[in-house]
Structures are given as C-alpha cells and as structure tokens.
Structure 1
C-alpha cells in the first residue's frame, strides 16, 4: 500500500490531478502494483480525502490529546515522538493530528513503522495542497535505499 501512496505523491501534484479511481487502478496495475495493494491504497486515500474536504486546519492552542491503546499500538514510540515533535514545532495543527491518527488507524496490517508513518504524513499535507517548510519536508522524505533495506 505504501509503495502505491509514494507513487501517487511523486507523480501527481495534488489528489485532484489523479485520474478517477477505476482508471487509476488500471494504470497502477499496469505498472505492476498488486491488486490488493492498489485497493488498500485507494480506499485509504478516499478516506483521507473525505476527512480533509471542508475541514478546518486552524490551530487550537488549548487542545490536549490523550492517545488510546489502539493508537499507541499503531504509532509505536518512534512515530509517537515524531508526531509530538511536529505538533510542538507548529507544523501539525491539532485538527491535522486527528486526520493523521484517523488515517493511521485505517492502515490495514498495523503497526506502522516510522518510515511508513512519514509517508502518511506527507500524504496528509499533499491532500491539502500544502507543503511543510523545507527542514520538516527533509525529515519526512524516506530514502529509497533505506526503504528497500528495511
């Protein structure tokens, strides 16, 4: 699933630049992605687009979040620390954090490792047509060599 999401991020500047789901699925299949991987990714992306459509991403400085066991199991220590870092740096608003957590829990076959978590974060920003500042963006990119080795 994550390889399909990375492909979409790299080849379409925004989700609305993607072809319709059926056409996109055929194109992805022609590129060699597995059918289950394609359907999981497109289902995940549809859920993301449903969440961010019309959602306010304004900061709420009074927001405090307590993570439930399922979220912590999906996050793991590294990803939870990275999520807290992004929030404290002002990169991720509480509203966007909730989108990220929702999409994290929507990933089939959790828990999600830090590299895959970074991909989810990139896709959340991508879905909004936003790009975090260069230093944060650098932290979010997963080196292809590292990804293959893990």
Structure 2
C-alpha cells in the first residue's frame, strides 16, 4: 500500500490535479498495483486530507508537551524514525499537532514496521498540506523534501 501512496504523491500532488477515484484506480491497476492496496491508499490519503483540513493543525501551540510513546508505537515505528520526528518537532518544522498526525498516519499503515524512509514520506505528505496554507509554511515542506530526496544526511550544527 505504501508504494501506492508514494506513486500518488509523486504523480499528482505537485500538479495539484488528482483524477476521480475511479479513473485513478484504473490507472493504478494498470501500473500493477493490487486492488486492496489501492483501496487502502485511498482510505489513508482521505484520512490525511481530512485531518490536514483542521484549522488548528498548522498553528503553533503556546505550550510545550512531553510525548510518551505507546508500546505499539515503539514496536511499529523504528527508533530512527521516532528520532527523526522528534528532531523535526524540536527544530520547529513540525508542531505537536502535526507530530500526532504523522504518528497516527504511520500507525494506520498495514506494514509491521515503519522505516525511516517511510517516515520521511509520511512527513513530506503531511507538510505538503502545510505548504498550501501559506508561504511561511513552504520552508518546512522544502526542508522535508530535501531530507527525503537528498541521499546525503543533513549536517546538524
């Protein structure tokens, strides 16, 4: 299913055009994707859009919180992936509401383990919604896009 999400994101998000689900489903089937994965990707992507449409998801809260991860989260999301998300919160690339969105979307994927590569895609898809909400949010999206597509690890100062 994750491959379907990446395919949809790469082919439709940047163009701001997405065909209807029936047309897209036929295209994804022709590209060799399984019907169950296609339907799961539609559900996941629709959940992302619904959650990203919440007005307060991209606002920076005035409080600091500590996040305690559940045992299920610790089993499914690699330590490197969790560290990446926490780094983004600390660097103020993601706020705490976006962190929760990213974690919930990661937990809703069917695979048993979420790798750093998959987590970067999830964050990229999430921050893309933020980049639509104004030019001040575009820098966050571009940072994540660079972290995902750049094969060299970013230098932390």
TM-score tier (shorter): 0.7 to 0.9
Q: Which runs of 5+ in 2 are unaligned?
A: 152-157
Length, aligned pairs only: 143
Name the residue aligned to 2:64. Answer: 62
Q: Using the TM superposition, give the Cα deviation of residue 9 of structure 1 relative to its aligned residue in structure 2, in angstroms.
A: 1.6
122-131 or 50-59: bigger deviation: 122-131
Distance 1:106 1:83 in 2: 16
Distance 2:142 2:128 in 1: 14
CA spacing shift, 1:120–1:15, aligned 2, 3 Å? farther
Q: Using the TM superposition, give the Cα deviation of residue 28 of structure 1 relative to its aligned residue in structure 2, in angstroms.
A: 1.0
Name the residue aligned to 1:2. Answer: 2
TM-score w.r.t. length of structure 1: 0.83
CA spacing shift, 1:133–1:50, aligned 2, 3 Å? closer
Distance 1:133 1:20 in 2: 26
CA spacing shift, 1:134–1:16, aligned 2, 3 Å? closer
Distance 1:53 1:83 in 2: 21
Distance 2:32 2:85 in 1: 32
Q: Using the TM superposition, give the Cα deviation of residue 15 of structure 1 relative to its aligned residue in structure 2, in angstroms.
A: 9.1
Q: Which runs of 5+ in 1 are unaligned?
A: 144-150
Task: With a CA cutoff of 8 Å and minimum separation of 6, indicate the structure with the bigger relative contact order.
Answer: 1
Distance 1:87 1:42 in 2: 27
What does 1:62-81 align with in structure 2 at a 5 Å threshold?
62-81=64-83
Name the residue aligned to 2:123. Answer: 121
TM-score w.r.t. length of structure 2: 0.79
